[in-house]
Structure 1
Amino acid sequence: MDRKGWVMRALEALRFATFQEIQRYLDEEGEPFSKKELQDTLKALAQEGKVEEKEGTYRLARKRGGGEAFAKLFED
């Protein structure tokens, strides 16, 4: 699994988590990330819209409605 996959897995398990909580989870799972690696990965996931951050707490981005998926599917 790549770095993004591990961070997504951590957020699925933790639901809402601080940077330190995510780092601790990854360490316990045997996938230690450096501080910079984790910061870069969280930033990339946020830019992709897969993770939301508010006041230092991270979570998976909310799922958008089916209407958006339908619109993407049938864009002209």
Structure 2
Amino acid sequence: MDREAWVMRAVEALRFATFKDIQRYLDEEGEPFSKKELEDTLKALVAKGLLEEKEGTYRLARKKGSAEALKKLFGD
């Protein structure tokens, strides 16, 4: 798995997680990340809309709904 997949797996397992929670989870799974790697990966996942961050807590992004899915498929 790549870095993003590992971080997504950690957040899925933890549901609501701080940076330290995610780091601890990855260490326990045998995938230690440097602080910079983890920060960059979290920022990238938030920018892609896969994660949400609020006050230092990360969670999976909410689903946009069927209207958004149809718009993606068929355009405007």
TM-score by length of structure 1 reads 0.97
Counting aligned pairs with the same residue, the percent is: 78
**Could you list the runs of 5+ residues in structure 1 that have no partner in the other structure?**
none
TM-score by length of structure 2 reads 0.97
Runs of 4+ that moved beyond 4 A: none
**Could you list the runs of 5+ residues in structure 2 that have no partner in the other structure?**
none
Name the structure 1 match of 2:73. Answer: 73
Could you give the per-residue CA deviations for residues 10-48 of structure 1, whole angstroms, max 9, x where no partner exists? 000000000000000000000000000000000000000
How many residue pairs get aligned? The number is 76
RMSD: 0.8
- Structure 1 position 64 matched with structure 2 position 64: yes
Equivalence map 1:7-18=2 (5 Å): 7-18=7-18
